[in-house]
A and B are shown apart, each in its own frame.
Chain A
Amino acid sequence: MISFAMIYPEALIAAAAMILLLWSAFRGEKAVREVGAAAFAVIIGATVLLMRQSGKELLFHDMFVVSDFTRLAKGLILAASGAALLFAPGYSIKGREPLKPEYFVLILLATLGMMLMVSAHDLIALYMGLELQNLALYVLVSIRRDEPKASEAGLKYFTLGALSSALLLFGLSLIYGFAGSTSYEAIADVLARTKGIHYGLSAGLGFVLAGMAFKISAAPFHMWTPDVYEGSSTPITAFLSAAPKIAAFGLMIGFLGGPFGSSLSVWSSGLIAVSILSMFWGSLGGLPQTDVKRLMGYSAIANMGTILIGLVVLDVKSVLVYLAVYALGTLGVLGGVTLMRRGGAPVQSIRDLSGLSQTHPVLAFVLAAFLFSLVGVPPLAGFFGKFYVLMAAVSAGKAWLAVIGVLASVIAAAYYLRLIKIMYFDEPKGLPLDPVSGKISSVAVGLLAVATTGFVLCPAPLIEAADRAAKSLLLP
């Protein structure tokens, strides 16, 4: 007997996405507002349904798992998607192709894919969720057809994404070939029976990890990140910077911690190398950037490296806390960028920030809060993520990795500080930016800022939820 309550959130999003797609097909572009509002309502509804669930269960012939862990990861994904929806008004530019209803439908579909990724308990389910997410994201990145940079970004993202999906699929098929099953349980059984890991399985695992590293933009599979971040419209960049990362880590925790949990030593050394490389590449590569969005791309690379520290020691709690506070920071910065306009056109160059504290004191203040949070300075939220990840490394006897991590974070601090310096220490240059208009986006950015600065007052709910999530997995 399947209890369908466990898939209500996913079912709601799937049904709503299809209905809204039809609706917008009939109503045409007039439907933007109502589809947008409906999509937001669906996200809220799915969150409510998610919160009403409890317990751990396997559904659909063990293909789909629901637990405290998947619930928290999905909750974070939904929150990030909701924020990205609220940034949507930042998409429209006077005299350009207007926002289309597909934007919202695609975000819903991508969100659905991410939720499936988190709940995947079988290689097929894993790949299905991943591809649903990917296809929706490829379109979203290049949704602004009249913009050459967006097309370029979409093409790059698609080509490299398809390559990485192929690698991943090849890895999955190797695993299937050598384990004889796509089910996580069966793979775990095979690994438990044999002494050590078969070379075919480890080769398959290697390919899967390479494909996943691409999805989370970890070095050396990160090349697409700055270009795609720069080329997509800012609300999409914000979406890309948070939700897919949470989903990919959810998937990796389920996959690596589940069937391959017993062969931690096989994959952890490779991931440690990826982690260190990402932290340094992201930190050093960000230094010479002149575009805020490209810079956030490098920041993503560096942060993913840091989260990988939590993953290689399989400390689920630290990974979740870090993901949550990182999402706050990156959504906040990119959300703030959606509010920056000059003469109606969006600006995204670092130079445009100069003297922002004098022309737009409130915007400058919230951006500074997000940036300090990304630096990891207490008492802002970002510090807690760093704290838990470093704690995880130290508890696992990998203090040296923690030291490498903090050294890289000092390098990265330099470019966040440069942004703050330009906003606060420099005089305004050139034409002033327009006064902040977009009400909905401003409210969303404001809420993120409150969460970032106020987190220190009441960190317990998130941390306890992450704790429960980690316990629900019962990792080795």
Chain B
Amino acid sequence: MTHTPWLSLMTFLPLVGVALLALLPKGDNERTAAFSRWIALGLSCLVLVIALCALRAFDPAQAGFQFVEKRSWIPSLGLSYHLGVDGISLWFVVLSALLSPIAILSGFAVKQRVRSFMAALLLLETMMIGAFCAQDFFLFYIFFEGVLIPMFLIIGVWGGDKRIYAAMKFFLYTFLGSVLMLVAILAMIQQAGTSDMSQLAGHKFPLQMACLLWIGFFASFAVKTPMWPFHTWLPYAHVEAPTAGSVILAGVLLKLGGYGFIRICLQMLPDASAFFAPLVVGLSLVAIVYTSLVALAQTDMKKLIAYSSVAHMGYVTLGLFSGTREGLEGAMMVMLSHGLVAAALFLCVGVLYERLHTREIARFTGVADVMPRYAGAMMAFTLASVGLPGTSGFIGEFLSMQGAWLYDGRVAAVAALGVILGAAYMLWLYRRVFFGSPVRQDVQAMQDITLREGAMLVPLLVLVVFIGLYPTAVRSVYQKSLEKVGLPTIQVAEVKP
């Protein structure tokens, strides 16, 4: 193969950044901090440019993997360094490449140990992009799990008051899920004799074994996504993480779970997925309704948005396991849209937090009066989160509900309840924070968004509206690849004794 190694470049450019940061002269003075910020931002923008080039060069008419790179790595076990993207993973790569510079830009507000912070964010970018590109199961696991280290440090070092509890809970919870997945991966490699993910997708596992494997993967992805009742780490992680960490966590890391469900559970273990679909649909419904109710009761903005993320992920899993084409597409769209919208909402909360150092909803009233531009942006993202037609949130939620309807009318009815609740908690949040008149002095003194904050929010705003008005642009890229994914419809599979 002689083409440009786009994927390796994207994966490892941020690592080059980490090396550069390590080479900067010692000390944590202002100059080193400024250098680190701009190096990190520059490299992540470069990655974004490469990602966009790759998106241009990608041929959506093909369903298979493109930009494939393959090198032998541990020959005795048949493991290889094998990267490739199809229409599904390409979008996640682009999403990671887009959110990383935005997160880094929001990380400019961090004042302590700037160099290490930027290095951690870059390391995180490498791991995320690597995980979406990996075509070898072993490599996938390395990247998937490697995410834990930088994220653990980001929450623990630069987080809020209860950061230590949050970081530990985040690490141990996800680690428990992923080691169970590791056993499942090993059993799969052992059974099929290959660690190549696309070959594994064609391998048929006996149903009994497939079900056990499925449980192993489910343990990991259900924690990562997160699904109710495995979501309890998420509110803590989000609340305590610095804004940049929350952006990446909500924007990309949660999607690793959904991506895993598509790539592994649905593609490799379709029968087991069909077998367990009612369970997943049930949990998704609980997630949608229950976490929406929990979100209603929150007094902390970040926690509210964190719970709304769990609810949105409920639509993703509902769509994925509804066994319909519409549900699958809906899940894909919800993930992409949520990646943009949740990231933006966390950025918006970060804007307020940087000004008043609190996220208490009750502390704010009448922000719209003092920060009109900010209020406008937040309105757009709130409506996108609620799923207003014309925003990216609508397409996904609609398709996902359609999938649920085709699966079972009652399921759709319950899920629709979640949509109403979603509108309720988001709009109520908006009313409490933005409307009314600014009573408190410190609220009155707040400045509208700065250029840096605008630079983070405007691209997201444009994309949210663009995708909402013209979803085909996104759809055309992943459509062919998504058609290849088997639907978890109940078939009478033979159980061999």
Interface residues of A (CB under 8 A from B): 357-358, 361, 372, 375-379, 383, 386-387, 390-391, 394-395, 399, 402-403, 406-407, 409-410, 413-414, 417, 420-421, 424-425, 456, 459-460, 463-464, 467
Once bound together, how far apart are the Cα atoms of A420 and B74, in whole Å?
Answer: 30
Closest residue of chain B to A424, judged by CB?
B157
Once bound together, how far apart are the Cα atoms of A251 and B487, in whole Å?
Answer: 53
Once bound together, how far apart are the Cα atoms of A469 and B30, in whole Å?
Answer: 54
* Stretch from B176-184, B267-275, B294-302 that touches the partner: B176-184
Q: Are A410 and B141 in contact (CB under 8 A)?
A: no
Partner of B167, one of A378, A379, A402, A425: A425
Q: Are B76 and A413 in contact (CB under 8 A)?
A: no
Q: Are A410 and B172 in contact (CB under 8 A)?
A: yes
- 20 more A-B residue pairs beyond the given contacts A372-B149, A402-B186, A417-B171, with a C-beta to C-beta distance below 8 A: A358-B113, A377-B145, A377-B175, A383-B145, A387-B186, A390-B186, A391-B190, A399-B187, A402-B183, A403-B183, A406-B179, A406-B182, A409-B179, A410-B175, A413-B172, A413-B175, A421-B168, A424-B156, A425-B156, A425-B164
Q: Are B142 and A379 in contact (CB under 8 A)?
A: yes
Known: A390-B182, A425-B156. A383 touches B142 (CB 8 A): yes
Once bound together, how far apart are the Cα atoms of A191 and B182, in whole Å?
Answer: 38
Once bound together, how far apart are the Cα atoms of A406 and B216, in whole Å?
Answer: 12
Q: Are B153 and A424 in contact (CB under 8 A)?
A: yes
Q: Are B168 and A417 in contact (CB under 8 A)?
A: yes
Closest residue of chain A to B164, judged by CB?
A425
Residues of A within 8 A of B143 (CB): 378
Once bound together, how far apart are the Cα atoms of A420 and B142, in whole Å?
Answer: 20
Q: Are A406 and B183 in contact (CB under 8 A)?
A: yes
Q: Are B75 and A425 in contact (CB under 8 A)?
A: no
Once bound together, how far apart are the Cα atoms of A390 and B148, in whole Å?
Answer: 21
Once bound together, how far apart are the Cα atoms of A247 and B157, in whole Å?
Answer: 40
Once bound together, how far apart are the Cα atoms of A372 and B167, in whole Å?
Answer: 14
Contact digits for B112-153, partner A, Cβ 8 Å, 1 yes 0 no = 010010000000000000000000001001110110110011
B82 interface residue per 8 A CB criterion: no
Residues of A within 8 A of B149 (CB): 372, 377
Q: Are B183 and A414 in contact (CB under 8 A)?
A: no
Interface of chain A, helix or strand or loop or mixed? helix
Once bound together, how far apart are the Cα atoms of A459 and B76, in whole Å?
Answer: 11
B238 interface residue per 8 A CB criterion: no
A166 nearest CB across to chain B (Å): 40
Known: A417-B168, A421-B168. A406 touches B180 (CB 8 A): yes
Closest residue of chain A to B142, judged by CB?
A378
Once bound together, how far apart are the Cα atoms of A407 and B172, in whole Å?
Answer: 11
B205 nearest CB across to chain A (Å): 14
Q: Are B171 and A413 in contact (CB under 8 A)?
A: yes
B338 interface residue per 8 A CB criterion: no
Residues of B within 8 A of A403 (CB): 180, 183
Residues of A within 8 A of B212 (CB): 399
Once bound together, how far apart are the Cα atoms of A387 and B190, in whole Å?
Answer: 12
Once bound together, how far apart are the Cα atoms of A460 and B74, in whole Å?
Answer: 5
Once bound together, how far apart are the Cα atoms of A372 and B77, in whole Å?
Answer: 24
Q: Are A459 and B167 in contact (CB under 8 A)?
A: no
Q: Are B179 and A425 in contact (CB under 8 A)?
A: no
Q: Are A464 and B157 in contact (CB under 8 A)?
A: no
Residues of B within 8 A of A464 (CB): 75-76
Residues of A within 8 A of B157 (CB): 357, 424-425
A288 nearest CB across to chain B (Å): 16
Known: A460-B74, A460-B75. A410 touches B179 (CB 8 A): yes
What are 11 of the A-B contact pairs (CB < 8 Å)? A379-B142, A386-B182, A399-B183, A402-B183, A403-B180, A406-B182, A410-B179, A413-B171, A425-B157, A425-B164, A464-B76
Once bound together, how far apart are the Cα atoms of A410 and B171, in whole Å?
Answer: 10
B325 interface residue per 8 A CB criterion: no
A446 nearest CB across to chain B (Å): 14
Q: Are A391 and B186 in contact (CB under 8 A)?
A: yes
Once bound together, how far apart are the Cα atoms of A417 and B156, in whole Å?
Answer: 11
Q: Are A421 and B148 in contact (CB under 8 A)?
A: no
Once bound together, how far apart are the Cα atoms of A372 and B141, in whole Å?
Answer: 16
B150 nearest CB across to chain A (Å): 11
Closest residue of chain B to A425, judged by CB?
B156
A135 nearest CB across to chain B (Å): 39
Residues of B within 8 A of A399 (CB): 183, 187, 212
Once bound together, how far apart are the Cα atoms of A476 and B318, in whole Å?
Answer: 50
Residues of B within 8 A of A467 (CB): 76
Q: Are A463 and B76 in contact (CB under 8 A)?
A: yes
Residues of B within 8 A of A390 (CB): 182-183, 186
Q: Are B168 and A414 in contact (CB under 8 A)?
A: yes
Residues of A within 8 A of B176 (CB): 407, 410
Once bound together, how far apart are the Cα atoms of A374 and B171, in whole Å?
Answer: 15
Closest residue of chain B to A403, judged by CB?
B183
Once bound together, how far apart are the Cα atoms of A420 and B148, in whole Å?
Answer: 13
Once bound together, how far apart are the Cα atoms of A342 and B338, in whole Å?
Answer: 51
